[in-house]
A and B are shown apart, each in its own frame.
Chain A
């Protein structure tokens, strides 16, 4: 038994097949090791145990030697070339319109603070877009909202049929639908007759409306500040400047600090190329005019509220990754634009 030559035999093998043959010769069902175990039965009882242990030792030694030799043989095998830098299997990759992502982001930001999204008519009566917003017939403020008119009979009470030039027409609709507390956002398509590199005849607007007891300017400021930090980044700040809108009093323009120069207006002594003076105009806002509340059937001596209006397109283009110089591309349906998102 002790003169078995397995060690030399294994180390001399040059192929996996030969190695397998050796394995069968020693460890196979009818191999040498099993034969040795058979022989134990012929020995006297007193020697059996010691012999058995010794055979087991040899068995594991052979197993180990074979395994080592196997690995050694594998190493010497010539390595096949495997290019990991090749691309993975390609899966279909569609796209959503970039505004879809922006709108979903806005909605989720406001959902977290309890605002619900609503939807109101895009084809509207003049009344909801103007009179209900404290802009009676002939008021010059109506000029600010150039409007598409529809060929249709006039409504005896609500006037002409139009394409809503802003989402603010939803203010009165929401006040008619429900009583305070109101926490609403309305994102919709809006229309005005302008078509050039910075205007499209259809665009989106995003309206926020909050009506309740004890709502004041600090709530408007806090809400917009929260939105700006969520949407543009924690380091951004807002400022309010005086403005005039017929449907709010007081009224504000809301600016957001420039993301490039952080509100300084200059970088290393040079004028910032993105903003005018450290700030970018973001939205119009204000405390809802008491006449607008009254027209919505809400008592302004009990309730107050704020409202704001943004352009999702503008919000999108104010982000670093979306520098678009001609806004018309958004609605061009060009696959080379769409597939990027």
Chain B
């Protein structure tokens, strides 16, 4: 969540001589990130990224509180001019005298919807433009200017971090013209409300709503008010409405209805109930000053579970344990108190009282360490290596990664190109390969038909790679090493590493690649994996675990034979009864044969060279010839 505030707005609460650009620099290091500072008229506007658990900082006063704690650690002066939580109390309104001209009949049907419900009626309202300073600041914050009453409501939110709503009292008033009824309850599925932007929202159910005396829904609470009850040019009497709602409910409604407002993004983070009082009182003051309104009811305040003091106990050594350096006790206490925490020290122990505006994000001693460490400055902490420890890598991981790397580099040097494809493929690809959909895991919420199923083979993707690249390069040889996924009943799938190779050359080209790879890995006895031909392309796929299990760092050394090697050539005419494999099998029945080389192949006339030698003497040519003649 990002909000925009101006420099002067901040200075309403903060006394400092630090420039807006320096405020950006210092606050970003130790608090909320100020992503941009821009000049705006005679003011500067900050674009602030609110840290998700620090909704208390999403307002001018909240930023002033952060600046007050942070700036002194950069040797800059900072003072809080006024604390609205102390200044704006109900007692201040009460001193104007109690007026009960109008009444609200409030009914809270369910307990867990609203942790604090406050409201007050004001009359004599004059709708006009809001004062210039409010207009300017709201414009800078990117909020639309409407009229004094609506603008004040928005201004309150960005000043104190508490959204408010303002109803037109006369539009929901009961027949007696003296009272209005407000029933807060959960919505029923399918109920409808027209919100003030004119859209009709169909409610999913269990949303927080308010019903008036005529059974109309007048507010989609925490999200947007109803159109039938909102302030217009003719409004004379208003209800200022300040609540804290159940955050899960607001979030659910905002997500399911798709209506998201700045107010809802405050409420769904969970607001501190103590903020409500100051907001209502400042609201009354602004409405009196800039909308000529007068108090016309008592203050309604339904607050069943007021804030209980919350405390966390820890030790000074715990700060050192997590931060890695010893910080003077005095400094720890000073930082905590600048952030509004009160600390009670008992030798090595420290008891910290959590201020109301931090009651939701500070829960464990580690949270306090974070506060002290960030204000002290992460940049002031040294950099150290983690203490050395010997950790064994499981054999399985070690071999897998080592051999994958060996294979990749070898194939690269043979001239192949490595590709990384998505693990998901389309239904079409599965069908084209004659595979069965039911043997594949399916993604429930895929965003494209291209990536709907988890692959059980690398070949469909590699085949597509070759096809997609035809015409871009004459010779294409791709390989990929990746996992494939085989579903298992009521368990996670079997994830298996595969090596896939595809080429648009020919059968023997691919076979040669496989043979040299096996040689590289010193796997001497092997069966060539199946080579598949599809659309003139040749493909093969190997279970990587076979390569991993059979890989040897070094081949078996054969002692060098000092005796003569006799080379003999012979040509065969191949046919289905006389294949190379058969010739080879037969030839190796001789104990003198070392190896066979293919010299040439022309129209099935295969010329081979045979190497014969003996281990203990010089073999004669006659002996070798005799051996060959047996073939």
Residues of A at the B interface (CB closer than 8 Å) are: 92-97, 99-100, 104, 107, 113-119, 121-125, 138, 140-141, 148-153, 155, 161, 163, 177-178, 181-184, 189, 191, 193-195, 200-202, 210, 212, 214-219, 221-223, 225-226, 239-244, 249-253, 276, 287, 289-290, 304, 306, 330-331, 333-336, 338-339
Question: Which residues in A have their C-beta under 8 angstroms from that of B442?
Answer: 150-151
Question: Which residues in B have their C-beta under 8 angstroms from that of A117?
Answer: 393, 397, 401
Question: Which residues in B have their C-beta under 8 angstroms from that of A113?
Answer: 385-386
Residue B52 lies at the interface, judged by CB distance under 8 Å to chain A: yes
Question: Which residues in A have their C-beta under 8 angstroms from that of B392?
Answer: 116
Contact A222–B385 (Cβ < 8 Å): yes
Checking A161, A241, A289, A304 against B33 with a beta-carbon cut-off of 8 angstroms, the contacting residue is A241
Residue B358 lies at the interface, judged by CB distance under 8 Å to chain A: no
Question: Which residues in A have their C-beta under 8 angstroms from that of B419?
Answer: 97, 333, 338
Contact A218–B381 (Cβ < 8 Å): yes
Contact A244–B322 (Cβ < 8 Å): no
Contact A289–B492 (Cβ < 8 Å): no
Q: How far is the CB of A143 from chain B (nearest CB, A)?
A: 8
Q: How far is the CA of A244 from the CA of B51 in the complex (A)?
A: 6
Residue B436 lies at the interface, judged by CB distance under 8 Å to chain A: no
Q: How far is the CA of A127 from the CA of B451 in the complex (A)?
A: 24
Q: Mark B323-367, 1 if CB is under 8 A from A, else 0.
A: 111000000000000000000000000000000000000001011
In the assembled complex, 17 residue pairs joining A and B whose CB atoms fall closer than 8 Å, in A order, are A94-B411, A100-B408, A116-B393, A152-B441, A161-B441, A178-B391, A202-B422, A212-B387, A218-B324, A219-B324, A221-B383, A222-B383, A240-B378, A241-B33, A250-B322, A251-B370, A333-B419
Question: Which residues in B have their C-beta under 8 angstroms from that of A304?
Answer: 321-322
Question: Which residues in B have their C-beta under 8 angstroms from that of A214?
Answer: 321, 387
Knowing that A182-B391, A250-B369 are A-B contacts, what are 14 other residue pairs whose CB atoms are under 8 Å apart, sorted by A's residue number? Answer: A94-B415, A96-B418, A113-B386, A114-B389, A122-B485, A123-B493, A124-B492, A140-B52, A163-B443, A201-B447, A222-B385, A250-B366, A304-B322, A330-B420
Q: How far is the CA of A284 from the CA of B441 in the complex (A)?
A: 31
Question: Which residues in A have their C-beta under 8 angstroms from that of B448?
Answer: 195, 201
Residue B390 lies at the interface, judged by CB distance under 8 Å to chain A: yes
Contact A216–B417 (Cβ < 8 Å): no
Checking A123, A181, A217 against B495 with a beta-carbon cut-off of 8 angstroms, the contacting residue is A123
Checking A181, A189, A240 against B391 with a beta-carbon cut-off of 8 angstroms, the contacting residue is A181
Q: How far is the CB of A27 from chain B (nearest CB, A)?
A: 40
Q: How far is the CA of A194 from the CA of B448 in the complex (A)?
A: 10
Q: How far is the CA of A188 from the CA of B469 in the complex (A)?
A: 27
Checking B52, B366, B394, B483 against A244 with a beta-carbon cut-off of 8 angstroms, the contacting residue is B52
Question: Which residues in A have their C-beta under 8 angstroms from that of B421?
Answer: 331, 333
Q: How far is the CA of A300 from the CA of B424 in the complex (A)?
A: 39
Contact B29–A217 (Cβ < 8 Å): no
Residues of B377-431 at the interface with A, using a CB-CB cut-off of 8 Å, are 378-379, 381-394, 397-398, 400-401, 405, 408-409, 411-424
Provided the pairs A150-B443, A218-B325, A218-B381 are in contact, do residues A96 and B408 lie with their beta carbons within 8 angstroms?
yes
Question: Which residues in A have their C-beta under 8 angstroms from that of B89?
Answer: none
Checking B389, B411, B413 against A181 with a beta-carbon cut-off of 8 angstroms, the contacting residue is B389
Checking B52, B379, B451 against A239 with a beta-carbon cut-off of 8 angstroms, the contacting residue is B379
Tally of contacts, chain A with chain B, CB under 8 A: 234
Question: Which residues in A have their C-beta under 8 angstroms from that of B391?
Answer: 114-116, 178, 181-184
Q: How far is the CA of A97 from the CA of B401 in the complex (A)?
A: 16
Question: Which residues in A have their C-beta under 8 angstroms from that of B447?
Answer: 193-195, 201
Contact B417–A242 (Cβ < 8 Å): no
Q: How far is the CA of A194 from the CA of B393 in the complex (A)?
A: 34
Q: How far is the CA of A55 from the CA of B324 in the complex (A)?
A: 93
Q: Mark B45-68, 1 if CB is under 8 A from A, else 0.
A: 000000111100000000000000
Among B168-176, B206-214, B470-478, which stretch is in contact with chain A? Answer: B470-478
Contact B415–A140 (Cβ < 8 Å): no
Contact B393–A242 (Cβ < 8 Å): no
Main secondary structure of the interface of B (DSSP, over half): mixed
Question: Which residues in A have their C-beta under 8 angstroms from that of B485?
Answer: 122-123
Provided the pairs A217-B324, A225-B383, A339-B417 are in contact, do residues A125 and B492 lie with their beta carbons within 8 angstroms?
yes
Which of chain A's residues has its CB closest to B52's CB?
A244
Question: Which residues in B have their C-beta under 8 angstroms from that of A306?
Answer: 386
Question: Which residues in B have their C-beta under 8 angstroms from that of A115?
Answer: 391
Q: How far is the CA of A239 from the CA of B25 in the complex (A)?
A: 12
Contact A97–B420 (Cβ < 8 Å): yes
Residue B81 lies at the interface, judged by CB distance under 8 Å to chain A: no
Q: How far is the CB of B207 from chain A (nearest CB, A)?
A: 16
Main secondary structure of the interface of A (DSSP, over half): mixed
Question: Which residues in A have their C-beta under 8 angstroms from that of B379?
Answer: 239-240
Checking A183, A194, A212, A216 against B323 with a beta-carbon cut-off of 8 angstroms, the contacting residue is A216
Q: Mark B301-323, 1 if CB is under 8 A from A, else 0.
A: 00000000000000000000111
Residue B373 lies at the interface, judged by CB distance under 8 Å to chain A: yes
Which of chain A's residues has its CB closest to B410's CB?
A94
Contact B367–A249 (Cβ < 8 Å): yes
Q: How far is the CA of A107 from the CA of B408 in the complex (A)?
A: 16
Q: How far is the CB of B452 from chain A (nearest CB, A)?
A: 10
Provided the pairs A114-B389, A201-B451, A219-B384 are in contact, do residues A99 and B420 lie with their beta carbons within 8 angstroms?
yes
Q: How far is the CA of A304 from the CA of B318 in the complex (A)?
A: 11
Contact B322–A222 (Cβ < 8 Å): no
Checking B408, B415, B468 against A92 with a beta-carbon cut-off of 8 angstroms, the contacting residue is B415
Q: How far is the CA of A114 from the CA of B387 in the complex (A)?
A: 10
Question: Which residues in A have their C-beta under 8 angstroms from that of B251?
Answer: 140
Q: How far is the CA of A87 from the CA of B413 in the complex (A)?
A: 19
Question: Which residues in A have their C-beta under 8 angstroms from that of B500?
Answer: none
Residue B186 lies at the interface, judged by CB distance under 8 Å to chain A: no
Contact B384–A241 (Cβ < 8 Å): no
Residue B86 lies at the interface, judged by CB distance under 8 Å to chain A: no
Contact A219–B386 (Cβ < 8 Å): yes
Provided the pairs A216-B321, A219-B384, A244-B53 are in contact, do residues A333 and B469 lie with their beta carbons within 8 angstroms?
yes
Question: Which residues in B have their C-beta under 8 angstroms from that of A333?
Answer: 419, 421, 461, 464-465, 468-469, 478
Residue B445 lies at the interface, judged by CB distance under 8 Å to chain A: yes
Question: Which residues in A have their C-beta under 8 angstroms from that of B483?
Answer: 122, 189
Checking B33, B367, B398, B473 against A335 with a beta-carbon cut-off of 8 angstroms, the contacting residue is B473
| Chain A CB within 10 A, most for which of B35, B248, B490 | B490
Question: Which residues in B have their C-beta under 8 angstroms from that of A181?
Answer: 389, 391
Q: Mark B434-469, 1 if CB is under 8 A from A, else 0.
A: 000000011111111001001000000100110011
Question: Which residues in B have their C-beta under 8 angstroms from that of A148?
Answer: 443-446
Q: How far is the CB of A14 from chain B (nearest CB, A)?
A: 48
Q: How far is the CB of A164 from chain B (nearest CB, A)?
A: 11
Provided the pairs A151-B442, A225-B383, A304-B322 are in contact, do residues A250 and B374 lie with their beta carbons within 8 angstroms?
yes
Contact A289–B322 (Cβ < 8 Å): no
Contact B29–A287 (Cβ < 8 Å): no
Contact B378–A241 (Cβ < 8 Å): yes
Q: How far is the CB of B236 from chain A (nearest CB, A)?
A: 40
Contact B54–A244 (Cβ < 8 Å): yes
Contact A222–B424 (Cβ < 8 Å): no
Q: Which 3 A-B pairs have the closest CB atoms?
A: A92-B415, A250-B370, A216-B324
Q: Mark B257-268, 1 if CB is under 8 A from A, else 0.
A: 000000000001
Provided the pairs A94-B415, A241-B29, A335-B417 are in contact, do residues A149 and B443 lie with their beta carbons within 8 angstroms?
yes
Question: Which residues in B have their C-beta under 8 angstroms from that of A155?
Answer: 490
Question: Which residues in A have their C-beta under 8 angstroms from that of B325?
Answer: 218
Question: Which residues in B have their C-beta under 8 angstroms from that of A100?
Answer: 408, 418
Q: How far is the CB of A236 from chain B (nearest CB, A)?
A: 13
Checking B378, B394, B465 against A252 with a beta-carbon cut-off of 8 angstroms, the contacting residue is B378
Q: How far is the CB of A111 from chain B (nearest CB, A)?
A: 9
Residue B8 lies at the interface, judged by CB distance under 8 Å to chain A: no
Contact A121–B492 (Cβ < 8 Å): yes
| Chain B CB within 10 A, most for which of A138, A182, A290, A338 | A338
Q: How far is the CA of A100 from the CA of B369 in the complex (A)?
A: 39
Contact A193–B445 (Cβ < 8 Å): yes
Contact A122–B401 (Cβ < 8 Å): no
Contact B366–A290 (Cβ < 8 Å): yes
Checking A92, A287, A290 against B413 with a beta-carbon cut-off of 8 angstroms, the contacting residue is A92
